[in-house]
Chains A and B, each alone.
Chain A
Amino acid sequence: MSKRWLVGVVALAVLLSWSVVMMAGQAKPNQIKFFHAMGGSRIPVIERMVADFNATHPDIEVTAVFNGSYRDNLQKTIEATAAGDTKAIPNIAQIFDVGTQEVLDSGVFALAGNVVKQCIASMQDLNSKGQLNTIDQAKLGELEGFNTSNFIPAIVNYYRAKDGTLTSFPWNSSNPIVFYNKTIFDKFGITMPEKPTFQDIIDIGNKLKATGQFDKGVINWPNHSWFVEEWFAEQGQDLVNNGNGRQGRPSHLNFDSKAAKTLYNWWGTLVKDGLYTNPGFEAWDEADRLFLAQQDPIEITSTSEVTILARDAFNNGFEVGTAFLPVPDNNNRNGVIIGGAALWLPAKQGAQNLCDAATFSVWMSETAQTIRWHQQSGYFPVTTQALSVLQAQGTFKARPNLKTALDQLTETKDNSATNGARIGAFLKVRTIVEHGFESLEADIKGGMPVVQAVDTELKAIGTKADKAICDYQKSIGVNNPGCA
């Protein structure tokens, strides 16, 4: 009797646990980890978007993980991927643009364009056999709606491989513009042209300096190679040889070009005349602080700061105006490089995870999400449709500063200079360029004539950068004939 009772209990237990497992199996959504580097007020924005995605996609659960700076996020992604633990690797990683070449060389990531294509193919296959459930059919629809021509061309071209395949999903993009303290400008009757030239900046700077209120300088931007790269693009000059590193591996940084001399002679003059304040090495925050404390009436920085700077300026009792990035000559404005980061998909995560990660990335670049991301984070809306919706809503009339940023982008010509450079050792090259400016500033402040200082330092930067570029290629076994 007792034996039969026992058998009954065991049978019941097995049945119960089995059904629990079944239910869990049905209800438990697929876990997707998303590594990003968007700190501060952007964290809650991302979390709300992720929550909305999870609610509309019941079989996927995305978790956003904030890892610190771009460099930190790349480091965490590398660590997790190199360890080879499939549970630890992110399914989606936000990686900044200068890491593009290294990430491609690593072969660790699947190309976004290919992933989308494969997912669509396998799901269509299942669908034709009638094996696709309604949730997956909705996903298929979403993936099929994805088209790289939806993106603003100037943005998407940065992220294309040599054969045109999309490498990663464009996500947060920005470029530099001039911010100026409109209240101070109005007070002294000075106007900033909508599209200033290098000479305009010097003239305005001297006028401001003559008021005697700005003895520490009138204009700043962080000592960051990003600005140098943008000024190369504006002058239609490739940063490196071999079609800006997009036709073949580069071997030479074009710091011996006329564009480089023009830029650095202007920058050097600003230093010599005491018009430029150096906020420091990659010192974005210090640059903002100087502008907001009204020490420097002009700041050049990322368009993603538009909303934040305007708000903080209002709190500090002044109004912000914006203008295009200054260039040597307005007739030859070539445009800017899109800067920021994109969403990459690590390859070794299994087909199911890849498709779910792709679904999330595609969803993030849909018009509705793009607009929301733009309005709450300050980054560009990356699709043309989002742009026209925003225009129709009159957003840009109400907020002319946003318009400056967008006009500068949409007026950008599509060529190798504005598509941005592909360099393997980009991170190192950037540091070399930034240290080079530190030397230049020290030379000029030590009394060396600007032209001579520029000549010396540009040569030094070029030599060091060429070595870094070639050393990197050697380390991955690339034999570049350009590297002697």
Chain B
Amino acid sequence: MASKFKGRLLPFFLLLPTFVILTVFLYYPQIETFILSTYQVAFFGLRKTFVGIGNYLSLFQSPDYLYSVMVSLIFSGGVLLLSMSGGLGLALLLNKKIKGARIYRMALIWPYALSPAVAGLIWLYIFSPNSGVVNYALGTLFNIQPNWIGNPTLALLLVIFTAAWKQLGYNIVFYLAALQNVPGQVLEAATIDGANAFQRFWRVTFTLISPTTFFLVITDLVYVFFETFGMIDIMTAGGPVNATNIMIYRLYQDGFRYFETGLASAESAILFVMMVILTWIQFRIQRKWVYYA
């Protein structure tokens, strides 16, 4: 391979722009964050005191923060499950030859074009406990008006649904593309071998699209951990009583609302490590279930 380039330096030279950008925008800030996480920083960043692992200790000793970690795990688990199973289910239906498939496809992919904040706003209006259309309908029909935003359990469910709905379109696009690449002959052969519909799906289709599933698990994970911030901010602001205060939102609160930059940096570092571990586990176990044709 190396022989294709004249000289040893040329490949590095060509890679240089990428490395410069990565260094300036990724590596350097990341290292700075790690360094900052060992300081207690006062308002305005004017006074910095070295505290070593003090910030990490106080985070792990804070019940509020551990609660945030738990909420994050429930939230990401819920969103992943809903948006991926929903995405796959809808993609299977879309893959059928039906009238108006293009229109359905567009309608289903649409939510992905919205920003998380806008999606949050739409669902907030629909589910607003006092003036939303859902409670109006429920109140008129059954005389019940659940407090979707004020009740901790319902609020968490609501943000999970919203985040899953928002990501549905993305998963549908990828699953649809994967399904269309499943060769018809293989399915035909399975039918001839006497496999029923479920077996055909589970043994053949699902196995053949497993690389897509793997890819989506990782991208969706990044989405729920980092991009759902705007949605949470608009819908519940982390409330009620921290019920929807996922880690990225708490980081924002500590860093930008209370100006505790050192603490927020430590939270950022923890999130980073968590993502690294999760992705590493994914790559480890994918050998067992992902099948590259």
A positions within 8 Å CB-CB of B: 71, 75, 78, 81-82, 102, 105-108, 216, 277-282, 286, 289-290, 293, 295, 424-425, 427-428, 431, 434-435, 438-439, 441-442, 472, 474-477
Contact = CB atoms under 8 A, between A and B. Distances in A.
Contacts of B237: 281-282
Contacts of A106: 43-44, 46
Contact of B259 (A78, A280, A289): A78
Contacts of B256: 71, 75
Contact of A78 (B44, B236, B239): B44
Interface of B: 40-47, 49, 128, 130-131, 145, 149-152, 236-237, 239-242, 253, 256-260
Nearest to B243: A438
A442 B46 CA distance: 40
Contacts of B131: 286, 289-290, 293, 295
A114 to B, nearest CB: 20
11 contacts: A82-B46, A102-B259, A106-B46, A277-B130, A281-B240, A286-B131, A289-B131, A290-B130, A438-B150, A475-B42, A476-B47
B143 to A, nearest CB: 9
A435 B258 contact: no
Find the residue from B130, B150, B151 having the highest chain A CB count within 10 A.
B130
A397 B67 CA distance: 55
B130 A108 contact: no
A334 to B, nearest CB: 30
A428 B257 CA distance: 8
Contacts of B239: 281, 434-435, 438
Given A102-B259, A431-B257, A216 B145 contact: yes
Given A281-B236, A281-B237, A438-B240, A427 B47 contact: no
Contact of B258 (A108, A279, A425): A425
A481 to B, nearest CB: 20
A475 B41 contact: yes
Chain B at the A interface: mostly helix, strand, loop or mixed? Answer: loop
The 3 A-B residue pairs with the shortest CB-CB distance, nearest first, are: A106-B44, A438-B240, A476-B42
B134 to A, nearest CB: 14
Contacts of B241: 435, 438-439, 442
A82 B45 contact: yes
Given A78-B259, A278-B150, A279-B130, A477 B47 contact: yes
A209 to B, nearest CB: 16
Contacts of B242: 435
Given A281-B239, A428-B258, A102 B150 contact: no
B152 A105 contact: no
Given A78-B44, A108-B46, A295-B131, A427 B240 contact: no
Contacts of A474: 40
Contacts of B151: 442
Contacts of A286: 128, 130-131
Contacts of A424: 43
A277 B149 CA distance: 13
A106 B44 CA distance: 6
Given A108-B44, A427-B258, A475-B42, A441 B150 contact: yes
A477 B49 contact: yes
Contacts of A78: 43-45, 259
A425 B260 CA distance: 10
B257 A81 contact: no
Contacts of A293: 131
A282 B43 CA distance: 23
B130 A295 contact: yes
Contacts of B45: 78, 82
A431 B258 CA distance: 10
Contacts of A281: 236-237, 239-240
A295 B260 CA distance: 40
A472 B145 CA distance: 41
A477 B42 CA distance: 9
B258 to A, nearest CB: 5
A214 B259 CA distance: 42
A438 B244 CA distance: 13
Nearest to A440: B241
A71 B257 contact: yes
A286 B128 CA distance: 9
A108 B152 CA distance: 41
A78 to B, nearest CB: 6
Contacts of B259: 78, 102, 427
Nearest to B145: A216
A40 to B, nearest CB: 17
Contact of B149 (A82, A105, A280, A289): A280
A277 B49 CA distance: 45
B11 to A, nearest CB: 37
Given A295-B130, A439-B241, A475-B43, 16 more contacts: A82-B45, A107-B46, A108-B46, A281-B239, A293-B131, A425-B258, A431-B253, A431-B257, A435-B242, A438-B150, A438-B240, A441-B240, A442-B150, A475-B260, A476-B43, A477-B47
A281 B233 CA distance: 11
Find the residue from B43, B46, B241, B256 having the highest chain A CB count within 10 A.
B43
Contacts of B253: 431
Nearest to A439: B241
A236 B149 CA distance: 34
B55 to A, nearest CB: 11
B198 to A, nearest CB: 44
A107 B40 CA distance: 18
Nearest to B44: A106
Contact of A427 (B40, B149, B257): B257
A477 B51 CA distance: 13
Contacts of A280: 149-150
Contacts of B236: 281
A82 B152 contact: no
A280 B141 CA distance: 25
A218 to B, nearest CB: 12
